[in-house]
């Protein structure tokens, strides 16, 4: 059966302008970092993608190495974009990135022009696309001159392989340099993708100010701290959780008794707001107008729908924010 999107898909989503650009992004965007790779079930993540689009989520965020195995998330997304989503490509913002290890040898990692251009060519083939809407440099490269990396992003836009460019994981000072270089090249930086959550606050040490001043959007990833800001860890570490897997991004050492005490207190506070802890954690990021969109992952369509309910209450009183801060500094 041919996919037919919900006719009212744009009526309930909130859209925010990305910096000073002409682009608006949905308040929540779908990240394909986990759950969309070759080890996952096609029908299940296809349903999640349909649910996202049916609810006004127009932005889908990928990277060359998303999977596992690396590249498989783009391949799977390519199958869906070339069939079920083919008629709706112009209603979507699709992004990809390069900056982490993708292939062996000296040209498959970091920030050289050789790597970035080659990687995007591969990504476009995997996704069966002529261009991506946003292409990011995924992380700063301490050995490649910043000029080379930014010149590569400029070249990619001029080649027609990306409409916009962004950066990810750049600290405030380096982000400002990159943004200025791109501006001088004539390819403005559209957006920055940092790690940001109630438990990860480094962006407040200057980066958000830089982005506001320069008119650059902000789209946080890991807003739920790899699952810590959910009810999953209220009773300790579940067997199949990311923290239980030693190779995961959330390490057991991060799930301390002190952290779990904070999680429990935040969970009780969320209940008073009529939200789940996860919903409150997403709302807490969206309270800041400098945040354009928040990237959420989803292992099912039900989980995505639950996250979307955060949009029903993104306002906090000053008293609520003070109470939350008192929990976070304990």
Q: What does the pLDDT read at residue 247?
A: 46
For residue 94, tell me if it sits in a domain.
yes
Note the maximum CA span of the chain: 54
Q: What does the pLDDT read at residue 235?
A: 73
CATH code where residue 175 lies:
3.20.20.100
Neighbours of 91 (CB within 10 A): 12
For residue 53, tell me if it sits in a domain.
yes
Compute CA 171 distance to the chain's CA centroid, rounded to the nearest angstrom: 17
Q: What does the pLDDT read at residue 255?
A: 80
Q: What does the pLDDT read at residue 330?
A: 78
**Beta-carbon contacts of residue 110 (< 8 Å; ≥ 6 apart):** 99, 141, 143, 144
Q: What does the pLDDT read at residue 251?
A: 60
For residue 269, tell me if it sits in a domain.
no
Closest CA to 56 of 12, 2, 3: 12
* C-alpha span between 64 and 62 (Å, rounded): 7
pLDDT tens, the chain, 330 aa long: 789 999 999 999 999 999 999 999 999 999 999 999 999 999 999 999 999 999 999 999 999 999 999 999 999 999 999 999 999 999 999 999 999 999 999 999 999 999 999 999 999 999 999 999 999 999 999 999 999 999 999 999 999 999 999 999 999 999 999 999 999 999 999 999 999 999 999 999 999 999 999 999 999 999 999 999 999 888 766 655 555 454 455 666 678 889 999 999 999 999 999 999 999 999 999 999 999 999 999 999 999 999 999 999 999 999 999 999 999 997
For residue 246, tell me if it sits in a domain.
no
Helix, coil or strand: residue 232:
helix
Q: Which range marks the domain in which residue 97 is found? A: 15-225+285-315
For residue 322, tell me if it sits in a domain.
no
For residue 274, tell me if it sits in a domain.
no
**Beta-carbon contacts of residue 326 (< 8 Å; ≥ 6 apart):** none
* C-alpha span between 330 and 326 (Å, rounded): 6
> Total domain count for the chain?
1
Spatial contact of 128 and 98, defined as CB atoms under 8 Å apart: no
Helix, coil or strand: residue 15:
strand
For residue 105, tell me if it sits in a domain.
yes
For residue 234, tell me if it sits in a domain.
no
């Amino acid at each position: 059966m041919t996919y037919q999107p919900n006719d009212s898909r744009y009526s309930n989503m909130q859209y925010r302008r990305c910096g000073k650009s002409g682009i608006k992004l949905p308040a929540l965007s779908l990240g394909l970092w986990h759950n969309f790779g070759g080890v996952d079930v096609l029908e299940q993540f296809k349903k999640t993608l349909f649910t996202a689009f049916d609810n006004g989520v127009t932005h889908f965020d990928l990277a060359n190495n998303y999977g596992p195995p690396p590249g498989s998330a783009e391949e799977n997304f390519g199958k869906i974009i070339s069939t079920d989503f083919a008629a709706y490509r112009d209603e979507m913002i699709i992004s990809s990135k390069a900056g982490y290890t993708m292939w062996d040898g000296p040209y498959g990692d970091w920030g050289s022009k050789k790597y970035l251009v080659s990687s995007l060519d591969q990504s476009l083939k995997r996704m069966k696309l002529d261009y991506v809407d946003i292409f990011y440099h995924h992380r700063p490269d301490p050995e490649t001159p910043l000029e080379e990396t930014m010149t590569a992003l400029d070249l990619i836009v001029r080649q027609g392989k990306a409409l916009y460019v962004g950066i990810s994981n750049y600290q405030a000072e380096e982000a400002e340099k990159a943004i200025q270089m791109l501006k001088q090249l004539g390819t403005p930086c559209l957006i920055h993708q940092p790690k940001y959550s109630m438990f990860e606050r480094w962006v407040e040490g200057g980066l958000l100010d830089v982005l506001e001043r320069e008119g650059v959007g902000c789209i946080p990833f890991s807003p739920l701290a790899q699952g810590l800001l959910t009810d999953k860890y209220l009773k300790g570490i579940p067997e199949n959780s990311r923290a239980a897997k030693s190779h995961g991004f959330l390490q057991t050492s991060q799930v301390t008794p002190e952290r779990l005490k904070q999680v429990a207190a935040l969970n009780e506070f969320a209940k008073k707001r009529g939200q789940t802890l996860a919903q409150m954690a997403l709302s807490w990021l969206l309270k800041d107008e400098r945040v354009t969109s928040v990237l959420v992952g989803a292992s099912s369509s039900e989980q995505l729908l639950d996250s979307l309910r955060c949009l029903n209450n993104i306002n906090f009183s000053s008293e609520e924010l003070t109470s939350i801060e008192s929990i976070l500094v304990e």
